[in-house]
Structure 1
């Protein structure tokens, strides 16, 4: 282990540390971190709205819609807030006006989502005999404004700020007299860049009807056709989901939405087999991934949260301690965007490797009959050992398997975590010296 840590420190860390300081990657990291307070608060409302105990869930069922409002307007709009934060950070790195960079990035991101006339749907429902609601006018679909839209937010942010930079570099801006207030002057300086950015994004999204989200789906569709009831079918979605998350793309939204129909068919077959008192045919329906692989969330980050709780870096320690409770309930956005794991070349390797190894262990144990196959969809906010027991019909060995995977993934994360911790401690010491 000491030799491995030395190799990481001397050979692996220098190029990865240099890559992590790249201007655009740093802007993405800082912008995403700026949403951390909203993500943390929103995640707790999600736990309250979907408690793991059925009696509690039944008691609050009439008010779930109200309880979920803060979640939908915080975590549900994560990419919206991040678009501004990333644009602000990148603009400041170029010594441009941060507010202008943030606003232009936000506008470009919103233009990538086409509003929908809700009244048309209400009218159609009324004609079909369904009681219509009150007129709503034009509404903005929220599906791609949360974590699923992060990749679009990154692309539009880079385009917006780089356009602002180039136009200012070549003096294609409106200059105001010195006596004009600075806030007014900034607005006019951003006028021409805003016109260019809005026109280009509008033309691509509306007139060319090019949907980045759909393009991503189509790109990865052939790659997940092999997903199914085999080790390869387990590993393919695991690898692509974690790789996409590492790049700032909501992996489950991209890959999960495509392979989920396959998972549901596998689960239905297992459920039917249980009802008929027959042997379960399938190893890897969706609950298999939920309880044996995504322990604590994508990337099996509960292990990382445990390590961070005892970190020597003050920042990592704090992030770990306020992420550990959501992580127990399989909500890891605070950790993913607080560490951050997005665009983090150092922690990307265990983020991908950990779930791969745990998937192999879980598949082998299930195929060998050491653990019962899953046949039940348990509430996803349950702690993993409990959820695994319920999903396998009460098999206590499933809880043991979860604990084994947590331990194995912790060992995988450890050397990379220590390398990243050392980097963070150095940065913290430099900030203290400057102060």
Structure 2
């Protein structure tokens, strides 16, 4: 029934709803490509994720309308001969892949392996989570550990998303990270995506490892508290 309704609207009535929404939102949000709006979006996305909701999809319902247009505009400008550093837009659909998961779930995964001697159940879980995490598929970590609704990891999770998001946007705006003009698949490993999507940006690959290091530092004290609580819980259950 839903398929018939959608087909009727799009094909029989000739109404392209995403295009109409884009036409309505672009005049309002055309100036949204700035560090403040981008950082706010990263904060809200992390806040939703930590509550167990898909923050990317929820905020993306609004932001993708114009970021998809912006990467198309970047591509058009590049094909017309504009240098990467002079492309019109910083915020493109995959910019977040250089910061959000590499600064949160990747450090968590490392700490899961490091804590596996004290908490043996973490090693098989981390082993299962590792291959998808390479491709920024983080649901096994988010819901397997879990990270969602986890009082120990809530603050560093939101903090890393927000800080590294702002940091990555700034580095892109000053030219250290190349502005993206190719819309690669979202599951492309982040260092490869950062390098290729801007036509060979060394900074796009380097920033991924900088953000990873930032996440390792921020998560460390919170993870140690979580580890201590889990060890106490395990010992209490054994007793």
TM-score in same-fold range (> 0.5): yes
Which residue does 1:423 correspond to in 2? 229
Counterpart pick for 2:74 among 270, 278, 281: 270
Q: Aligned partners of 1:226 and 1:343: how far apart in 2?
A: 35
How large is the Cα RMSD of the aligned pairs?
A: 2.6
Q: Aligned partners of 2:105 and 2:60: how far apart in 1?
A: 18
2:85 maps to 1:281: no
Counterpart pick for 2:113 among 309, 333, 336: 309
Q: Aligned partners of 1:412 and 1:352: how far apart in 2?
A: 11
Which residue does 2:49 correspond to in 1? 245
Q: Aligned partners of 1:123 and 1:264: how far apart in 2?
A: 23
Counterpart pick for 1:347 among 153, 167, 170: 153
Q: Aligned partners of 1:284 and 1:348: how far apart in 2?
A: 26
Shift of 1:301: 0.9
Shift of 1:321: 2.5
Structure 1: gaps spanning 5 or more residues: 1-115, 129-220
Q: Residue 114 of structure 2 aligns to a residue in which SS?
A: coil
- 1:225/1:414 CA distance change after superposition, 3 Å: farther
Q: Residue 286 of structure 1 aligns to a residue in which SS?
A: coil
Shift of 1:295: 3.2
Q: Aligned partners of 1:349 and 1:319: how far apart in 2?
A: 23
- Report if the CA contact (8 A) 1:227-1:234 is conserved: no
Shift of 1:300: 3.2
Per-residue CA deviations over 1:337-382 (Å, capped at 9, x if unaligned) read 0111111121011111111121122122112212211111112222
Q: Residue 413 of structure 1 aligns to a residue in which SS?
A: helix
Q: Aligned partners of 1:227 and 1:258: how far apart in 2?
A: 14
Q: Aligned partners of 2:73 and 2:174: how far apart in 1?
A: 19
Structure 2: gaps spanning 5 or more residues: 13-24
Q: Aligned partners of 1:306 and 1:425: how far apart in 2?
A: 18
Shift of 1:245: 1.0
- Report if the CA contact (8 A) 1:303-1:406 is conserved: yes
* Runs ≥4 residues deviating over 4 A: 120-125, 224-227
Per-residue CA deviations over 1:374-419 (Å, capped at 9, x if unaligned) read 1111122221111111111111221111111111111111111111
- Report if the CA contact (8 A) 2:44-2:59 is conserved: yes
Shift of 1:293: 1.9
- 1:124/1:408 CA distance change after superposition, 3 Å: closer
Shift of 1:121: 5.3
| Number of aligned positions between the proteins | 219
Per-residue CA deviations over 1:12-71 (Å, capped at 9, x if unaligned) read xxxxxxxxxxxxxxxxxxxxxxxxxxxxxxxxxxxxxxxxxxxxxxxxxxxxxxxxxxxx
Q: Aligned partners of 2:201 and 2:29: how far apart in 1?
A: 31
TM-score, length of structure 1 as denominator length: 0.47
Counterpart pick for 1:228 among 13, 28, 32: 32
- Report if the CA contact (8 A) 1:282-1:373 is conserved: yes
